[in-house]
Structure 1
């Protein structure tokens, strides 16, 4: 019997533009269905720790546009900018301007992490959230303001105060942070930063706390895959059903 050389079959492609220090490519891939490829590029190196100024630099519109062009040179029509702070640091107007820049650079559909978090909350019908971040306070509280611009109120907030190496935060520390911000007033918990590992925490903590947990990487992949007509691979995670 001869070898079948009729393949490979056409596959969908998701483009991702991430900051140069992104360490969690493997976590993003865990949400990816088997029939979708992830085409990823990084922004240029910035010699700074994670501060408000850092977030502004990695989200420079020209830099993001270059990243979009590099992933849309091939098959990627849906592109995600995978950085929470970079997409909320200039508020709602900045996030929406970034989407326009991404479309202008060739993205048929554009998503930012902060915009995806808002989209996820809207899909779940959530208006009151607790917020957990790994950032320093000056950066961290800009997320509260950003959510407020979309009609989402913050019932409680806590952060780890980190300026670097956020990807090294252990699950136990993140779980403790999530539990510390939860309250009866919060309808869901938002966990910021695409460099903070969360995949294995979401389903068990949702079961424990009885409410959705929306994390940066989860929301980014959910919103981007939604535009491809796909569902994320996310057993037990509440957002995956919406």
Structure 2
């Protein structure tokens, strides 16, 4: 005996939620920050963010970052299988530096062929070009062995590094716990007069809420990992509206 009756209301399928832009995010298993920061910047009703995580381990060492690579394809493959995405983001700056942006993209597109992909370093390079800057001061939370990979990646992308300062923290959980006041002070300390922009590296750092204040104080663009990868993913997805409140980059409408 049936326990239900067929509804007389006809089935009509509407548009996807956030049909204008559908972004996929591959975050680290230990990441406390990037998903929150991207949602903070997302225009309501115009962007949807779908998230999966890739296994990683603390401390943040070159060895542990490299060990993430084999899991990237599987992480992407179970992110809305069979449903469209407009762009896909890998949310780890240091992981990108160690694995390589091209290799990250190759592994993601094994699961999502044809979907444009970005990383924090890919996005930062695009951001510097869009802002017409090449002389950059860099602030990171990492230990020295990881800083070396960030430095090498930025220089390879044509960035002239005018200053490079770091907290020397090993755990990305601790990185996420740095308060805004500390990040502001560190950013001001890192800045130098001959840098055209400041780059704050690491998706674990909660920085999008301080970008506007920093730009006003420093008188120059501030690019962060989370801000840059979100901006780049939107542009790759065909979304070109300016977004206020999160720095000059988010008001830059073209790549």
Q: Is this a same-fold pair by TM over 0.5?
A: yes
8 Å CA contact 1:72–1:106 kept in 2: the answer is: no
Q: CA deviation at 1:44?
A: 1.9
Q: CA deviation at 1:201?
A: 0.8
What's the counterpart of residue 156 of structure 2?
A: 149
Alignment CA distance shift 1:78-1:236 (3 Å) = closer
Structure 1 runs, 4 residues or longer, greater than 6 Å off: none
**Equivalent runs, 1:76-115 vs 2, <5 Å:** 76-90=85-99, 94-107=100-113, 108-115=115-122
Structure-2 separation of matches of 1:51 and 1:38: 28
Structure-2 separation of matches of 1:114 and 1:53: 19
Structure-2 separation of matches of 1:170 and 1:163: 17
Larger Rg belongs to: 2
SS of residue matched to 2:78 = helix
2:54 aligned with 1:43: yes
Q: CA deviation at 1:33?
A: 2.0
Q: Deviations over 1:119-159 (max 9, x none)?
A: 11111111110000011121123211111101111100110
Greater percentage in helix: 1
Structure-1 separation of matches of 2:123 and 2:178: 23
Alignment CA distance shift 1:53-1:234 (3 Å) = farther
Structure-2 separation of matches of 1:232 and 1:217: 16
TM-score calculated relative to the size of structure 1 = 0.90
Alignment CA distance shift 1:53-1:232 (3 Å) = farther
8 Å CA contact 1:31–1:232 kept in 2: the answer is: no
**Equivalent runs, 1:1-242 vs 2, <5 Å:** 8-10=14-16, 11=19, 12-24=21-33, 25-34=35-44, 35-46=46-57, 48-58=58-68, 60=69, 62-73=70-81, 74-90=83-99, 94-107=100-113, 108-164=115-171, 165-230=174-239, 231=241, 233-235=243-245, 237-242=247-252
Q: CA deviation at 1:194?
A: 0.5
Alignment CA distance shift 1:232-1:57 (3 Å) = farther
TM-score calculated relative to the size of structure 2 = 0.85
Q: CA deviation at 1:233?
A: 3.7
How many residue pairs were aligned?
233
Where structure 1 has 5 or more consecutive residues not aligned to the other structure, the ranges are none
